Structure 1
């Protein structure tokens, strides 16, 4: 690590232009972290590279034969942490419904999370990103959130998955990769190496098929029940009763299919905080689990 920093510093010192200095001091395509010093305007005082090298997002070790690892919850003994996750669901055939005025987004929910200062992880379908590119880009560029893959079509990977259309085994990997393409076209630059299965349905064949992608599949241990719910208080009670240290809560970011979610969030957040819980992104829980915290 020390030799790497020296090489970067030496290369930067050889550059005469300020813009070249800035480019040389960056070792990744990620945006600089808040708090890093700005480059000096003096040619005789080149900017020093950060002593802390950026790290890759934490993932779990693949299973036997390279099977995609599956994450359900974080450590139960690592303090009162909880991750709220939101599925931005939209299937590939729902475009006409969106054009007709049905709302698959939920700006009020995102605004509530921002005002409450709750970090969260959003699992987004590629079709959702295509339909709401400005919102996808805003979520993906906001450091309060992290964005992850929920496939392109939201078609199930297994049979009998909550009535979802089923995609063939040969098309599974392509559907996941197509979502990444949709994120890129929408201007989303930072996508976490996490995947949520449509409906949460998978089997060993699916894990084997997706193994080469190097992602960690993220499930949950608390079902909010917000999908198609009309009683926000009942959903809130279900969340409050289910949360334990390290829990991952699944909710939805679609007004048409989950109209109570914003109210649920505004209800459960202060109550969980009163119980001593701290809200984190999924990546923090995975890091604590894999030893990268």
Structure 2
């Protein structure tokens, strides 16, 4: 069986997936969730670090309660390509256990810390039962380049089936402010928001 990372999905439907990585802090997530709700966006995928889930169980449950899809962002925020298969397996299983214990969700989607991966890592994650999710459109919100820059990077040259990367950790201080304009622009372009799992189910063979 061949395993590959998902950057985008070939689909005939004008759908895209908004994804949010969450690794630390408690200030940014709630404004992001509130913004999505106020703009009637009920489909998005949140990749949660299990160290964060353990530290902020109420916030993790808030993501679950709002009905958003939950994926794993691993346990320690370290590059998988720099570690052995044994270390990676241990990390992934630890994250899976913690996230399931807190949220009740058994993750089958994973975004590696820093998006760091290679074929060895992708194959191993596949054997562990995970789909590795990368991104096609990077908002660069974690660099705090200014709200207008985040809006431009997230809503220009977006194609059907694309996966868009955002962050809802405290390092991404401008994400919630940029989101309203991004959501409006993408909707004006005719896009519908779906979860990663829904996007994968729309893949054209």
The answer, yes or no, to whether TM exceeds 0.5 is yes
Choose between structure 1 and 2: higher helix proportion: 2
Q: Looking at both structures, which has the greater relative contact order when contacts are Cα pairs under 8 Å and sequence separation is at least 6?
A: 2
Corresponding residue number in structure 2 for 1:194: 109
Match of 2:174 in 1: 260
1:136 to 60, 72, 75: 60
Q: CA deviation at 1:104?
A: 6.4
- 1:243 is matched with 158
Deviations 1:47-85 (A, max 9, x none): xxxxxxxxxxxxxxx41xxxx432111225x13211110
Secondary structure of 1:250's counterpart equals strand
Give the one of 170, 176, 199 matched to 1:285: 199
The answer for unaligned runs of 5 or more in structure 2 is none
SS at match of 1:236: helix
Assess if the C-alpha contact under 8 Å between 1:87 and 1:124 holds in 2: yes
3-state SS of paired residue (1:214)? coil
SS in 1 for 2:155: helix
1:274 to 185, 188, 199: 188
Q: Is residue 17–residue 196 contact of structure 2 (8 Å, CA) maintained in 1?
A: yes
Give distance in 2, aligned partners of 1:253 and 1:108: 9
Q: How big is the shift at 1:213?
A: 1.3
Once the two structures are TM-superposed, the CA of residue 240 in structure 1 deviates from its matched residue by 1.2
SS at match of 2:203: helix
Aligned residues: 204
Q: Give me the whole-angstrom Cα distance separating, in 2, the residues matched to 1:261 and 1:73.
A: 22
- Please, which runs of 5 or more residues in structure 1 have no aligned partner? 1-61, 91-101, 160-166
Q: Which has the larger radius of gyration?
A: 1
1: CA distance between counterparts of 2:198 and 2:125? Answer: 23
TM-score by length of 1: 0.65
Matches within 5 A, 1:121-160: 121-143=45-67, 145-159=68-82
Shift of 1:130: 0.7
Kept in 2, the 8 Å contact 1:146–1:191? The answer is no
2:5 equivalent to 1:82: no
Does the Cα contact within 8 Å between 2:112 and 2:132 map onto a contact in 1? yes
Q: 204, 207, 230: which is aligned to 2:119?
A: 204
